[in-house]
Structure 1
Amino acid sequence: MTTETDTAAQQADAFMAGKKKADDTAFMLGRVLAEMGIKVGDVDSWPLLTGRASLSGEPSVYLGTVPLPTARKLINALVFAESRRRNPPEQCDCRYDA
């Protein structure tokens, strides 16, 4: 049987592991948004993006409130990416020799 101290230590370890995973995910999402020209931390662009974890260690990312123009830009990018995935451009093996 585990003692209460062992149980608390296991919960703390699970929380910290989940928090690290969530922070890593939030960081990578922030990098992707930056590549799209969306600045995290800017009130007019994307005010808040943080990694969180439950006491059980389940990671999550809190996106905060996103302004409508930023949400539209992100939606358009996702729709474009999905359409390219479904219908990739024709591969042309043509050579232009002038």
Structure 2
Amino acid sequence: MNTDIEAAAQQADAFLAGKKKADDMAFMLGRVLAEMDVRIGDRDSWPQLTGRASLSGEPHVYLGTVPLATARKLIDALIYAESVKRSMRDQGDSGHDA
């Protein structure tokens, strides 16, 4: 009987640790989005962002539904970041050849 209680306590500890990791990830993602002027909790911007964990403690972030305008803003930012990254890489490659 004691092992059942210990197993339940370990599962609860794993869940809480996973939930904390997920909450931390959601917080950091929220900070990044705020830098992009995307407001969490605003149904016209990004209605829901929540840290969650499975009973085994596996953390994940629930993104909710995202309005199309916000999704496009994120896509544009990712495309821009990738183009800058490639440009920097291409400049670095040409610098090595010279």
Residue equivalent to 1:3: 3
Residue equivalent to 1:46: 46
Q: Percentage identity across aligned positions? A: 72
For residues 84 and 11 of structure 2, the distance between their equivalents in structure 1, rounded to whole angstroms, comes to 43
Root-mean-square deviation (CA, aligned residues, Å) is: 1.5
Unaligned 5+ runs, structure 1: 92-98
Residue equivalent to 2:82: 82
For residues 62 and 15 of structure 1, the distance between their equivalents in structure 2, rounded to whole angstroms, comes to 16
For residues 79 and 13 of structure 1, the distance between their equivalents in structure 2, rounded to whole angstroms, comes to 40
Q: Answer yes or no: is 1:23 the counterpart of 2:26.
A: no
Compute the displacement of 1:83 (Å): 1.4
The one-character-per-residue Cα deviations of 1:55-93 (angstroms, maximum 9, x if unpaired) are 0000000000000000000011011111111212869xx
For residues 13 and 87 of structure 1, the distance between their equivalents in structure 2, rounded to whole angstroms, comes to 46
Residue equivalent to 2:71: 71
Q: Aligned with 2:52: secondary structure?
A: strand
Q: TM-score, normalised by structure 2?
A: 0.87
The one-character-per-residue Cα deviations of 1:1-47 (angstroms, maximum 9, x if unpaired) are x7000100000000000000000000000000000000000010000
Q: Aligned with 1:88: secondary structure?
A: helix
Q: TM-score, normalised by structure 1?
A: 0.87
Runs of 4+ off more than 2 Å: none
Unaligned 5+ runs, structure 2: 93-98
More helix by share: 2
Q: Number of residues paired by the alignment?
A: 90
